[in-house]
Amino acid sequence: MSAQINLHEEILDHLNRTVLDAAAFFATAEESLFDGHQSAHGVLSQLVFWHEQYVAVVQALLDKRMPQLKAGSFGRLNQVARSHYSSDSMTMLAYDLSCLQKEFDAILRRLPDWSINFPIKNDSPPCPLNERLLEIDTHIRQHVLRLKRSR
């Protein structure tokens, strides 16, 4: 059991560092910075949107409720995110991302069963929580790396 707890702790610590590093990067990045696909503002909008979803899902799982999952393709949902946050500053969105990660971390640490499925949208395939957290971490790091390379 101790090895599992250590693994969970390691995953959370890494995700916390990744999100804090990303938030620091975005807080000082030009919103028009373009990675070849989208702007830094668009990427950050999507990260905040999905982090809100992750918090809602994990809270529902902790409460033993069925999570309310978003429907639609990732492309469509990301478009909704960019539109929803279009008037928010990079600094505010970076702050929101940091706050959402703190909330996400706090809920995850109270979750007793990490073997459960952690869905992120209506048609997402089953994925155990720790694997999903690793996917989220990698996804955020890849976005930041692409933007840094485009500077």
Domain assignments of the chain as residue spans, ordered by start: 2-149
Percent of residues, the chain, with pLDDT higher than 70: 98
Does the pLDDT of residue 2 top 90, yes or no? Answer: no
80 vs 75: CA distance, rounded Å? 9
Distance CA 89, CA 86 (A): 8
Mean pLDDT of 71-95: 97
All residues at 6 or more sequence positions from 139 whose CB lies less than 8 Å from its CB, including other chains: none
Gap between the Cα atoms of 61 and 55, Å rounded = 10
Residue 5 has pLDDT above 80, yes or no: no
| pLDDT score at 4 | 72
The C-alpha atoms of residue 126 and residue 124 are separated, in whole angstroms, by: 7
> How confident is the prediction for the chain on average, in pLDDT?
95
**Model confidence over 137-146: pLDDT tens digits?**
999 999 999 9
Q: Is pLDDT of 1 > 60?
A: no
**Residue 87 pLDDT greater than 70, yes or no:** yes
Q: Round to whole Å and give the CA distance between 29 and 46.
A: 16
Question: What does pTM read for this prediction?
Answer: 0.95
User: Would you state the pLDDT for residue 37?
Assistant: 92
Average pLDDT over residues 117-131: 93
Amino acid code (one letter) for 133: L
Per-residue confidence (pLDDT) for residue 11, from 0 to 100: 95
Distance CA 28, CA 44 (A): 12
Q: Encode pLDDT of 21-68 as tens digits.
A: 999 999 999 999 999 999 999 999 999 999 999 999 999 999 999 999
Cα 106 from Cα 111, distance rounded (Å): 9
Which CATH superfamily is 2-149 part of? dinb family like domain (1.20.120.450)
Q: Quote the tokens at residue 89.
A: 């500053």
Residue 3: is its pLDDT beyond 80? no
